[in-house]
Structure 1
């Protein structure tokens, strides 16, 4: 029987070696999240995630078991990424969205199902998502690429459900409208 994240947290408080299981499970998803919501190069994203795990480890005793560990980890990652963005003003031009990420966003919701038939369409859509204002891009990525539900998104970005829904709807509308216009 596999232990839940919250059970692993409780065990990690007493045995630091157990924390490695949480790192193993979340290192890649958090790294991909940092790359998707920021403009950081691979090494910078890895550094952010490493710092996140240090913060998580040092804060295990204040973790509230009423929440999901994954939500807490994503929230800490989001805050660390935003702090890093503020500290480092120069950024590369494009996000780290793969073609598979763009395709997942397009398939994930009836409101934005757009046929991406050519490589040009894929590049155009990647550019549109890249140019979305941060607040819309972030919720689109959390919902459709990180598979977070509304409750988790609310907890990660600290916004009420109505705001999350509005950001998602506006972001999807912007994507669709810009694609049709181009």
Structure 2
């Protein structure tokens, strides 16, 4: 266990050294690298390089933890993924598998702290609103500050299970199937939760005299 933990730390925090001597895996899929990682540590190092920033961003979006806590969550995420690589089904998406581990580690972390974050972090606000607007097919000038605040209020009232699917859909830009795999819920449930949230958002936007094409 100690050796495994040390390996993950070296892989993450000494990527510049790793990169100098690592085999070029750019032509390998994530799924192929996952299989290679059983006997090739550098292959797992390549996976860490591909996912570290993505998962860091995702963890920060679904919890209010600070940088140090986020790093701890990522450490556990990569440790668990490495430890359980033998359980990975190559017929599935490796990305969804990694996101699911990160999601579970994050949920476990903030359950201990009894904290639930807001859905829209300041740095994500514009991206989020743009994606929502595109999905709802909105054509109008938006008072973004007011709209974002009202959207925040609605999403807070929807509860964690709706926030999770909305973050994955509008900020991580995952498909319904990917969200289903990450959260381990049926695709139909993903659609139901997103549609319920969108219905509330449409109601808000209608109050701003915007055009929404059904």
Alpha-carbon separation, structure 1, partners of 2:28 and 2:176: 25
Deviation at 1:93, TM superposition (A): 6.6
Name the residue aligned to 1:83: 108
Give runs of aligned pairs for residues 137-156 of structure 1, distance below 5 A: 137-156=163-182
After superposing the two structures, state which structure 1 stretch, 164-173 or 121-130, moved more.
121-130
CA contact (8 A) 1:37 1:138 kept: yes
Give runs of aligned pairs for residues 26-37 of structure 1, distance below 5 A: 26-37=51-62
RMSD, aligned CA: 2.5
Name stretches of at least 5 consecutive residues in structure 2 with no aligned partner.
1-25, 209-214
CA contact (8 A) 2:176 2:187 kept: yes
Name stretches of at least 5 consecutive residues in structure 1 with no aligned partner.
none
**RCO higher in 1 or 2 (8 Å CA, sep ≥ 6)?**
1
1:166–1:113 distance in 2 versus 1, CA, 3 Å: farther
| Residue 58 in structure 1 maps to residue 83 in structure 2 | yes
1:120–1:114 distance in 2 versus 1, CA, 3 Å: same
Q: TM-score, normalized by length of structure 2?
A: 0.74
Alpha-carbon separation, structure 2, partners of 1:87 and 1:148: 27
Name the residue aligned to 2:136: 110
CA contact (8 A) 1:111 1:172 kept: no
CA contact (8 A) 1:143 1:153 kept: yes
| Partner of residue 119 from structure 1, selected from 121, 138, 145 | 145
